Copies of this chain bind each other. A is one copy, B any other.
Amino acid sequence: MAHTHDHSFEALLEKHHLKKTGPRLKVLSMLSAKNVATSQPDLESVMDDIDRVTLYRILNAFEEKGIIHKVFDLNGTANYAMCSSNCEENQHHDEHLHFNCTMCKNVYCLDDLDLPAITLPEGFKPEGFTLYATGVCPKCGKTAAKKID
């Protein structure tokens, strides 16, 4: 059960007082393998050996612990992605850009992008920002260019 990169996953679970079980490690490796957020339906279809209910519980537990975060795409479907370092329990810092590709439907979490300062109307006291963008991602832009142009 222990390969080299599994160690970080196990450490992560340990850190959050969660048992290192097969399903949990599998979810972690699935999510961190992709650089995009993954929807629950997608996760389900890939991990057809894990019970659907178990998946719900794992995702909820991970989110509460701040291991992953949920981002809704433009269809309102929840997509999950590993949290970048600075998420705390029940207090996420996902003030980053979510890019939803209209072609491949992937949701990219562009963590390291600085959002410009936004001025709100009088009286609104902002606590967190999330910016969603739609458009074409690099991968699809490339294939589209080849095919069409």
Contacts and interface: CB of A to CB of B under 8 A. Distances in A.
Instruction: Give chain A's interface residue range (CB within 8 Å of chain B).
Output: 35 or more
B124 A99 contact: yes
A50 interface: no
A79 to B, nearest CB: 10
Interface in A44-62: none
A115 B132 CA distance: 12
B138 A122 contact: yes
Which among A78, A117, A135 has the greatest number of chain B C-beta atoms within 10 A?
A135
A120 B125 contact: no
Nearest to A131: B131
10 interchain residue pairs of minimum CB distance: A123-B138, A126-B135, A116-B116, A127-B135, A125-B136, A126-B133, A128-B134, A130-B132, A72-B76, A72-B72
